[in-house]
Structure 1
């Protein structure tokens, strides 16, 4: 088959260069590295052959060691396996760096156009240009960084990757060699579990080194292309932040950690400002600006290095001095170096005094517990009784009096109660030091009824906030299939509630609603999750338009398709006229941050893609993206069939047992990857509803079965064909951007699956039947997806992405065999406790490498 131009570039720029630079590992001055590097190709080939023959992992590894006399002792064998893991971890880093360094040469990763194409159209169409300019005045993209553990590079490794990318771009072999030596010596794992503050510091690397520069660069590009004044569009790109604020299921997040993270987000931004200011000061040595430079020197230096305990918002002062300097330069000095000042003005307009908006999130059950505590403690004084709290929903809504009264809480209160009330108070001081841009949202997880939001609003009024100065947005999070179905009735109750409607009016009639994803997938399967969220968006949009509410959807879309990610830009570009899309807001985490926003090139491209998606979906909307009633009915029926199939899996008696025994699910709770426990109610027996969605998705991906990304889709497509609806489904794939993206993302999940690795399970007495059920649905889904897309292979339309995925899968195959070998040895019951501990460590180390290599993991 003839390769496309992009495939040729990928072969030359990525695969060939990776092989060349990989050989540098063998020249490193570490004897053990050289020995491991010499054996690794033989071990990798042996693993590949064993998988092709469907051999069990213990057979593959034991037969490999049988070829070498020096590996008779078990300790020698495990030592080599550990070294192979370490070696492959570093190969993954090298591949990341080589691929990222080739980003410009490869160009766009798919057919989606970017801002440049839109600007080109606008050059010859004044009408279009005017519409774009108008749209930009009320449009934004908000990327919310979360600490969800889907990528495990520590800060020093991220810095090495960044430096490697630059060295590889320049073919700087001596420097590449030095960086590989550094990589060989740098640990990849944390000795201790990170705290929420540690996680925030780790993500701050991206804020300082990528987002700070890229947001200004994009603003500048838009200003120049559309000839806008820098003040016309102040905050087109927004950043949100969850580490230190997201306490849902994470008892390690406290008021103190929230305060520390908020302080850090302010301090590191001022240090970025100060670095830029020093360049400005060094260049602008003219008369007329001395006073303004002196003001900025003192203001920026003190906030960077001598921060006050209770700082004030300094945004206006900074902008006033910068604008005065700009005016002097333009009026008296021919605008010399004015671009340096304008760049800093753009950054201050974008960030203010806080790098990001710190979101607070807590589960509705904790909020109810907190209300119950105050009602009980202040018996009769709150205007509420325990009977009110236990009454039917309508009565409960009517019971809240929204009285403004400062209610204290004692040290004897439950920790979660004290934390909830403490953080409500803390938000006021955070806003004082950076306006409400610093922190303005409280997200209610597991939001099931309108009283969950009304109750939280009452809690704020009981902690010193006043109704007419309640500068907080209450954001319901609807995630499960049932919650999504109830979302419309919940929001209607709020829009028609007198007190909440008044609050919304004071907030500019803007309502943010968060729609989750990963728990939706865990709850209802891939197709039902996608469709439930899409359907909820249609219903919520219609409702908001009826009540004249400016609706903002905040999507809990992670990187992998099983967490709602995949081809995110195409998803937003294809929303259709029934879905509000004025603002794009989504969570990004783990490997998605590093893969899509880890370098200046990739970050600029991906942010521009999101901006383009939001603009184009309204300005040049594709009429076929708005689904007809018949199309909705077909997808709805397919989602029901898919859900039915998924529930047979979920309710299977071996479902959790299979994950616990064959995947590294148990190991996830013991490795130092996150401050958040792997499951809620961590002291109790494992239940699916308590298992965190990321752990659920990660466990399936380590098995290379990726069930959350496809299971039930094949059954749904088969049902459509059997009911003479295939022509409609094909039409949907060809014309509906939503359905096309949904199917393409499913293909991506399946491309990252490899059932050959676990094919030895087919004849297993305990799990053989269960494994066969999974494999049959995979085969069925693959058959129908190829038929639907008229393809010979999965992801045929995305050959470069497919090639990248397959190369990464090839790199980590030995890690998977080692991992499954270690799991099966532990499960055999034949190991001493000391031996088990060694194998548990081996499992933990392989998890890191597999996840890091996966990027968009599932």
Structure 2
């Protein structure tokens, strides 16, 4: 279970906890056997002693028994111990994920039923009287975007070993298997746990974007192609008067997937136009391979002969054309499937998909719509012949797959920083000769709009490699659209959008790159900092006035019947900029203003939520976050980033992936339910003054800390911040400038910022400033009332509670002491104490997570082991941050301790899960 999940089902939780405990006991016994057989019996004893010490009261205090045990270990034993603890945490995660999947299969536990738990049937029942559900589904769009943001610390080799262990656990637990089969499964479990224990958890080489593409593609291959049709079936079954698999329930394919993997070049010099082209080629190859396999499978089942299932005249006419278009293949199909016209047509479709994959021009499908037309021809013929079951069965699954994934699998989105465009334009405009100040012109939206609409006055060429790459990226987008269709790669996201010029700049560059040639270019502003979020409506009004923008919107109106704009809001950098509480309230205010702007401009707005997996980057229960969104900001459309460990937590298992998508579906349906929308807006108005107080006070508290002299040095001294890059989690540098080290928080990305604080057990990005904000309100009954009635405030407090629960004050104090800044340490710990006390007061609890037993269990299972890693990491940091060993005065072995530090970082990431 990801620690971002939550539940209220305590009874089921006790049953699930017992099964989970049994699984863990079994896995731990096998792990101990592997360690003993491998000559590490001493390690089993040391691990047991350290974990027992970490369960003692005050274990995190300096000088505790846990500290004494760790201080007595040599480097070799420390490294071996760290590895063993990490394996234990991986096995714990596996057992918990398995329990989630098991609960879903038996329709048990927190992941089924109930509106607030994300039950689709309950959601449809609630909204059925308010609006036409089928019409709402037809307009719905749920759009997860998978990113390569480096928050998944596991190597693929580790993930593969865990998948093998999970498969053997299923085999061992299968009640239909006898003792011999169980013995085989147990042997295989020991073998794979042995391999896992001996596999290095650290990557030896830096991943390239191509490696990241392969990693993300496995999610589609192993999970999503099966989970998506299951989602649509579950929605179909929940509709009134539905008869799944026979009657047309009117469930459209309302899910689309996006990807930044191979397209996101913001601060990543390794993502080039060549990488983007290759990424889409890999995606298309996999999509077509999956579709071909599915077509072949469905075709094998269509053995109905024409006497019992008469083909339509349209189908017969289509087959006559196929007979001359591909004579050799069709002759073989007719011979192998005589008097089976529906099967013959499916085999023809399969041959054309294979030809599309092989880029055989004479038989290729030019776009997915052509393939859909053939599939619907078969479906219509079956329906006319009275065979509703076959028409609405697996064939419908195939139609849903084509509608959802097309030939490109996921829309590849391009992202670049606004400063890169500005520099490129300054370079190019400087060559024109008639512009006195090229840098000023590069930020003038009117001048850039003229370049976009009228063209460049004369030919210019890039003089730098970076500018050439900007233009080549746009050219690759045009080429990909020509090859795989306009929807494969048409969105261009501008990080740190600060003005209308930042948006117009992309069209000016596109005009130079491709001239008048066809190009779908949907410019998406990304507002990230507090100031940019506040200015977003003003920026958009100015942008909408530009001629190039008006022409783009008019073209949308003509083709789609409406003008639509996508706006991305960033949770990560806004929280890093103003603190978690102020960022939550700033985002809410900005979204309300964006909704108002869209209404005034007669534009259909889609908000794209740039959320991370960690609680300090917008993480937490996603369906509850949707229900807390301002009215009008969802309106049937929800787009969100999914990254790192969150991708694997939500999409690595078919059942879990299906359930996650169901929760999103139900939340999007419920978001505009009249009763909920009205209550949400009334609460927002009622508690507006409370929100302003929290916003101002929490922001002031947060900025006072991060603006303190030496604060950037503090986080580098107390955490593995500078060493995180050596984990080689992703191809993107930790800093936008590409520097491996430094003391600039502005240059530091949000992910390593959050990752580092999680390692220190301070977890500061998830709660700092909230205590001061709540204290400034000074009215506990009002705060409790707001928690009960205002979903946004409820979500904010719940996320803070989870974040505080993963903070360990004694260990945090030890980490903070490494910075030799007692003033800043006291400031941080005082705010922690205040936030914890007031959150508990608002919740009316004595302890954190009292009412979230599943989360409490998840954290309790891991904490002694995570605490052990923290003690080991603290010693490694002390050895590396001091010039001599405090025990004997000798210089420490920096290479050995650096390796140990990285091992502890990797292990703690496994235990804390949503680290970045």
TM-score (norm 2): 0.86
Q: Which position in structure 2 is the counterpart of 1:650?
A: 706
The 3 A distance-change label for structure 1 pair 53 and 600 is closer
Match of 2:513 among 431, 450, 463: 463
Matched, 1:445 2:495: yes
- What's the offset of the Cα at 1:124? 9.9
1:661 has 2:717 as partner: yes
8 A Cα contact 2:451 2:508, kept in partner: yes
Q: Any conservation in 2 of the 1:645–1:712 contact (CA below 8 Å)? A: yes
Mean alpha-carbon deviation: is it higher for 499-508 or for 534-543?
A: 499-508
Equivalent in the alignment of 2:146: 145
> Which of 504, 514, 523 is equivalent to 1:454?
504
Write out per-residue CA displacement over residues 561-605 of structure 1, whole angstroms, 9 at most, x where no aligned residue: 200111221111122435343311111111111222221122111
Please say if 1:246 is aligned against 2:264: yes
Q: Is the 8 A contact 1:679 1:690 kept in 2?
A: yes
Task: For 1:3 and 1:742, locate their aligned partners in 2 and report how far apart those are by CA, in whole Å.
Answer: 21
**Does the alignment pair 1:636 with 2:692?**
yes
Distance 2:162 2:360 in 1: 32
Structure 1 Cα separation of the partners of residues 394 and 758 of structure 2: 47
Tell me how far apart the structure 2 counterparts of residues 121 and 334 of structure 1 sit (CA, whole Å): 32
**Residue 16 (str. 1) matches residue 67 (str. 2):** no
* Alpha-carbon distance in structure 1 between the residues aligned to 2:66 and 2:552: 65
Query: What does residue 300 of structure 1 align with?
Result: 353
Q: What's the CA shift string for 1:759-783, capped at 9, x where partnerless?
A: 3468779222322211111111011
- The corresponding residue for 1:192 is 205
Deviations 1:443-473 (A, max 9, x none): 0001000011111111112222539x54221
Secondary structure at the residue paired with 2:430? helix
Who is 2:331 aligned against?
Answer: none
Alignment of 1:171-250 (within 5 A): 171=173, 173-174=185-186, 175-226=188-239, 227=242, 233-250=251-268
1:86 equivalent in structure 2: 83
Contact 2:442 2:448 in 1 (8 A): no
DSSP 3-state at the match of 1:439 = coil
Distance 2:616 2:609 in 1: 14
Gaps of 5+ in 1: 72-76
Counterpart CA distance in 2 for 1:308 and 1:182 is: 47
Structure 2 counterpart of 1:37: 44
1:603-625 deviation line (CA, Å, top 9, x unaligned): 11111111111110113442221
Cα 1:685–1:576 shift into 2, 3 Å: closer
Partner of 2:121: 119
C-alpha distance in 1, partners of 2:899/2:82?
11
Correspondence for 1:168: 169
Aligned partner of 1:495 among 537, 544, 547: 544
- The answer to whether the 8 A contact 2:124-2:238 is kept is no
What's the offset of the Cα at 1:180?
Answer: 2.3
Would the alpha carbon gap of residues 825 and 369 (structure 1) be closer, same or farther in structure 2, given more than 3 Å must change?
same
How far apart, CA to CA, are the structure 1 residues paired with 2:580 and 2:729?
26
More relative contact order, 1 or 2 (CA 8 Å, 6+ apart): 2
Q: Distance in 1 between matches of 2:507 and 2:602?
A: 22
Q: What residue number does 1:257 align with?
A: 275
Q: 1:562 aligns with which of 616, 640, 650?
A: 616
SS of equivalent residue, structure 2 residue 606: strand
Deviation at 1:150, TM superposition (A): 1.2
Residues 1:850 and 2:908 aligned together: yes
Q: Secondary structure at the match of 2:672?
A: helix
Deviation at 1:327, TM superposition (A): 4.2
State whether residues 115 and 612 of structure 1, in contact with CA within 8 Å, keep that contact through their aligned partners in structure 2. no
Equivalent residue for 1:107, pick from 102, 106, 109: 109
Deviations 1:651-676 (CA, angstroms, capped at 9, x unpaired) = 12231111111100010122211101
Which residue in the other structure is 1:323 paired with? 376
2:653 aligned partner: 599
Mapped to 1, the partners of 2:816 and 2:223 lie a distance apart of: 47
Alpha-carbon distance in structure 2 between the residues aligned to 1:827 and 1:397: 51
SS in 2 for 1:688: coil
In structure 2, relative to structure 1, the CA distance for the partners of 1:762 and 1:668 (3 Å cut) is closer
Tell me if the contact between 2:441 and 2:448 (Cα under 8 Å) persists in the aligned partners.
Answer: no
Residues paired across the two proteins, number: 838
Structure 2 stretches of 5 or more lacking a match? Answer: 1-7, 175-184, 305-339, 557-561
For residues 485-526 of structure 1, the C-alpha deviation after alignment (integer angstroms, 9 at most, x for no partner) is 111100111223333122123234110000001111111001
How far apart are residue 3 of structure 1 and its match?
A: 10
Residues 476 and 90 from structure 1, CA distance in 2 versus in 1: closer, same or farther, beyond 3 angstroms?
Answer: same
1:334 positional shift: 4.0
Asked if residue 55 in structure 1 is aligned to residue 62 in structure 2, the reply is yes
Q: How far did 1:33 drift? A: 5.0
Equivalent residue for 2:830? Answer: 776
What is the match of residue 403 of structure 1?
Answer: 454
- Relative distance call for 1:703 and 1:53 in structure 2 (3 A) is closer
Partner of 2:895: 837
Which has the higher mean CA deviation after the structures are superposed, 150-159 or 685-694? 150-159
Residue 680 of structure 2 aligns with which residue? 625
CA distance, structure 1, for counterparts of residue 832 and residue 458 of structure 2: 56
Query: 1:204 Cα shift?
Result: 1.1
The whole-number CA distance in structure 2 between the counterparts of 1:268 and 1:690 is 37
Give the secondary structure class of the aligned counterpart of 1:145. Answer: strand
Give CA deviations for 1:366-388 in whole Å, capped at 9, x if unaligned.
011111222123434xxx66357
CA–CA distance in structure 1, aligned partners of residues 38 and 702 of structure 2:
51
In the alignment, what sits opposite 2:879?
A: 825
Query: CA 1:521/1:114 → structure 2, altered by over 3 Å: closer, same or farther?
Result: closer
Partner residue in 1 for 2:11? 5
> What is the aligned partner in structure 2 of residue 74 from structure 1?
none
1:99 is paired with a residue whose SS is helix
Alignment check: 8 A CA contact 2:20 2:95 kept? yes
- Checking the alignment, whether the CA contact within 8 Å between 1:114 and 1:612 is kept in structure 2 is no
Distance 2:511 2:9 in 1: 64
Moved more, 84-93 or 770-779: 84-93
Contact 1:363 1:446 in 2 (8 A): yes
Q: Are positions 1:365 and 2:419 aligned together?
A: yes
Q: Equivalent residue for 2:464?
A: 414
More deviation in 671-680 or 172-181?
A: 172-181
Residue 447 of structure 1: SS of its match in structure 2? coil
CA contact (8 A) 1:101 1:168 kept: no
Counterpart in the other structure of 1:736: 790
1:505-558 deviation digits (Å, cap 9, x = unpaired): 323411000000111111100111111111000011011101101000001111
CA distance in 2: counterparts of 1:140 and 1:200, whole angstroms: 24
Distance change >3 Å, CA 234–CA 628, structure 1 → 2? closer
2:408 alignment partner in structure 1: 354
Equivalents in 1 of 2:847, 2:671: separation in Å? 30
Q: 1:115 to 1:639 in 2, by over 3 A?
A: closer
Is the CA contact (8 Å cut-off) linking 2:767 and 2:803 kept in structure 1? yes
CA distance in 1, matches of 2:77, 2:563: 62
Match of 2:732 among 651, 673, 676: 676
1:801 aligns with 2:852: no
Report if aligned partners of 1:6, 1:800 keep a CA contact under 8 Å in 2.
no
CA deviations on 1:714-752 (whole Å, 9 max, x unpaired) are 11111111xxx4433222111011110011001111111
Q: How many angstroms apart in 1 are the aligned matches of 2:38 and 2:602?
A: 70
CA shift, 1:849, in A, is: 1.6
